[in-house]
Amino acid sequence: MKKMINTKNNYGWMAIFLHWFMAILLLLLIGFGLYMVALPDVGFNSEKIILIIFHKEVGLMILPLVSIRFIWRLNNVIPTLSAHLPDWQKIAARFVHLCFYALMFAMPITGWLMTSAAGIPVTFFRLFTLPDLVSQNWHLFQILIDIHKWLGYVFLFLIFIHVSAALRHHFVFKDDTLKKIL
């Protein structure tokens, strides 16, 4: 049975849970994001509006989760990378992980900013309303749409790199990189 905390050789069950739970949420958000932006802008009760509300509320769940995950990472040892990797790949791996953290904070914050700039209340599953981060500003709203969209594309690209590298380690190098997070 796995320990809760990380060791120099493996991730603990808390890090594993946070990794996979957030991975599922993030892939869900990216999938919905790509799908909903392709839908036409028609009607207040349209499928697009419902998906946007769902996307925003699940997206806001990421902020406390990534905060917990980041604090957990700062207070736990990070398992060592495979010894056979060249230094540039070790640096790249750490860089991608840091980019993930930056994007996991930036994506919900830009979404919240975007919604505030649109003059739409930001609710958390209709339990409570969050304060606006900026006042209503149509021009800023348009800029934030582009920023949020391009951050999403960067995130998707980095996920592809991350998954490809994990699968390469597992099937080509046959090392324990992927097993550490399973």
- Please spell the DSSP secondary structure of 33-94, one letter per residue: HHHHHTS----TTSHHHHHHHHHHHHHHHHHHHHHHHHHHHHTSPPPPPPTTS-HHHHHHHH
pLDDT in tens, 36-75: 988 887 766 688 888 988 999 999 999 999 999 999 999 9
Residue 88: pLDDT above 70? yes
Please state the rounded mean pLDDT for residues 138-151: 97
The whole model's pTM is what? Answer: 0.92
Residue 126: pLDDT above 90? no
- Please spell the DSSP secondary structure of 94-161, one letter per residue: HHHHHHHHHHHHHHHHHHHHHHHHTT--EEETTTEEEPPSS---HHHHHHHHHHHHHHHHHHHHHHHH
Instruction: Specify the long-range contacts of residues 150-153, CB closer than 8 Å, at least 24 apart.
Output: 151/103, 151/106, 151/107, 151/110, 152/30, 152/33, 152/34, 152/107
How far is it, in rounded angstroms, from Cα 104 to Cα 165?
A: 20
The residue to which tokens 């905390």 are assigned:
5
Which domains are delineated in the chain? Answer: 13-181 (1.20.950)
pLDDT at 111: 96
Query: Which value, in Å, is the radius of gyration of the alpha carbons in the chain?
Result: 19
The residue to which tokens 């980041």 are assigned:
70
